[in-house]
Chains A and B, each alone.
Chain A
Amino acid sequence: MSVALSAQDITRALTRISHEILERNQGSSNIVLLGIPTRGAHIAGRISAMITAIEGSEVPTGTLDITLFRDDLRMRPPRAIMPTKIPTSGIEGKDVILVDDVLFSGRTIRAALDALGEIGRPRAVQLAALVDRGHRELPIKADFIGKNLPTSKNQSVKVLLSEIDGRDEVTIEEGTE
């Protein structure tokens, strides 16, 4: 096991992503942050707080559970459905920024795009991920990346967040279970 990002690295990466989001969207007036549960939702909450601190105004932030839209449901035992909370302002005509912890095959994001399509029609959808570990199986690319981690397929990337795991850390482990 090796540590890829320390707590400080994570905070720095998220701070940079927050600034990049603002730069790209010329402020926070039209953006909506949607985190993908479980850890993506917490990361979205942190980015939201950072943007609020920078801009001085609240950013609509919610969660988007994509379980019901997955294409690999039949390959695994049933998963628990996590809450979806769309901000009251909705996503219609907004610039939606999807937030996830690890970008890997891209299938989660495909499912998220399907889920968004059922809810409304955003003006644009962007993607922020704390870690991009490669091995894409779909033509999907992140707009904002905390860190590119080149990995082999039999390694696994673990993201620990203080909200759930008690501390912030990203590690790479050899050999998946």
Chain B
Amino acid sequence: MRHLLSISDLSKSDAISILDTAAELARVSDGAVKKLPTLRGRTIVNLFAEDSTRTRISFEAAAKRLSADVINFSAKGSSLSKGESLKDTAMTLQAMGADAVVIRHPASGAAQRLADSEWMSGSVVNAGDGTHEHPSQALLDAFTIRKHLGMGGSDLSGLSVAIVGDILHSRVARSNVLLLSLLGAKVTLVAPPTLLPVGIHNWPATVSYDLDSVIPHVDVVMMLRVQQERMSDLFFPNAREYSRYFGLNAERMSTMKSGAIVMHPGPMNRGLEISAEVADSARSVIREQVTNGVSVRMAILYVLLAGGALEVGSN
């Protein structure tokens, strides 16, 4: 594997091997070893043309724990804000000898464009492209679900997951639907009709408009952020109404199965899609998602960068 652009590029065994690698790496970083020499001498560029806290810091921490050199590069404070094109930026990175670029970009397909071009020779990791995909988030979500609810198996078969909220603008939802169904989980999408994309019926998931009827039957409730910055039209009458029908509050949470967990990719709009009480409750694994994010991103960088292209005879 050279790039990680979309979950649809992964086979089930690829996905499971990333999760297994992450599990071993998590065990290593839980112990005494915080720093591994594995990617010493490699340069990883975090190219963030869109704001991010978690993903950028998480990729940075992952790269540093594997001893790679990290260059952070964000739109604000770089020539991207002067209007430099993606092509020129990529060629600059190539000239500096970047082994991998972790790219977040507001345009869907930006990571694919970078990987398909001849502009640079390194690996490309998609850290969120517009409303398309966010594969590392889906992998860390699957990792977290498997850790909490996996029935000893390596996949997620037998589990059901509800993804609730702004599906239309959510790259997290797209990647998660693909990955969770690939791993054998049953996915239900819950949203107002205005926040569902065209062609939703071709997704490997069922659709519901009624949160209350879904919640008691699922093992995982994954709340999505209402992405106000991407909303140019009116998608729901007002925040209070959205919150009443599609928000997760303590009362709704009390109808969940015992052992079921609440997830959110962050950043949260507390009081809109999720109440503060739920976000801080014992069912919430939101903070753990962040911790697991580092291990999963270490695994992604390991799989993409640690091996060489040359195959040498075994000993």
Please give the residue numbers on chain A whose beta carbons come within 8 Å of chain B beta carbons, in ascending order.
Answer: 65, 68-69, 72-84, 86, 102, 104-105, 114-115, 118-120, 156, 176-177
Contact between chains at B306 and A78 (CB < 8 Å): yes
Contact between chains at A68 and B310 (CB < 8 Å): no
Of B24-32, B133-141, B264-272, which binds chain A? Answer: B24-32
Please give the residue numbers on chain B whose beta carbons come within 8 Å of chain A beta carbons, in ascending order.
Answer: 17, 20-21, 24-25, 27-28, 31-33, 35-38, 66, 302-303, 306-308, 310-315
Contact between chains at B38 and A119 (CB < 8 Å): no
Contact between chains at A176 and B307 (CB < 8 Å): no
Contact between chains at A81 and B308 (CB < 8 Å): no
The answer for the CA separation of A156 and B313 in the assembled complex, in Å, is 10
Query: Could you say which of A78, A84, A102, A115 contacts B307, with CB atoms under 8 Å apart?
Result: A78
Given A76-B308, A84-B31; 6 other pairs, CB 8 A cutoff = A78-B306, A79-B307, A80-B20, A80-B21, A119-B32, A176-B314
The answer for the CA separation of A76 and B308 in the assembled complex, in Å, is 5
A115 contacts across to B, CB distance below 8 A: 33
A83 contacts across to B, CB distance below 8 A: 24, 27
The answer for the CA separation of A22 and B308 in the assembled complex, in Å, is 42
The total of interchain contacts (Cβ-Cβ below 8 angstroms) comes to 71
Query: Which chain A residue lies CB-closest to B298?
Result: A68
Contact between chains at A77 and B311 (CB < 8 Å): yes
A77 contacts across to B, CB distance below 8 A: 307-308, 311
Q: Known: A68-B36, A86-B31, A119-B33. Is A76-B307 also a contact (CB below 8 A)?
A: yes
A25 vs chain B, min Cβ distance (A): 24
What 6 pairs between A and B have smallest CB-CB spacing?
A78-B307, A74-B308, A81-B24, A118-B33, A77-B307, A68-B38
B69 vs chain A, min Cβ distance (A): 16
Query: Which chain A residue lies CB-closest to B36?
Result: A68
A174 vs chain B, min Cβ distance (A): 14
Query: Which chain A residue lies CB-closest to B33?
Result: A118
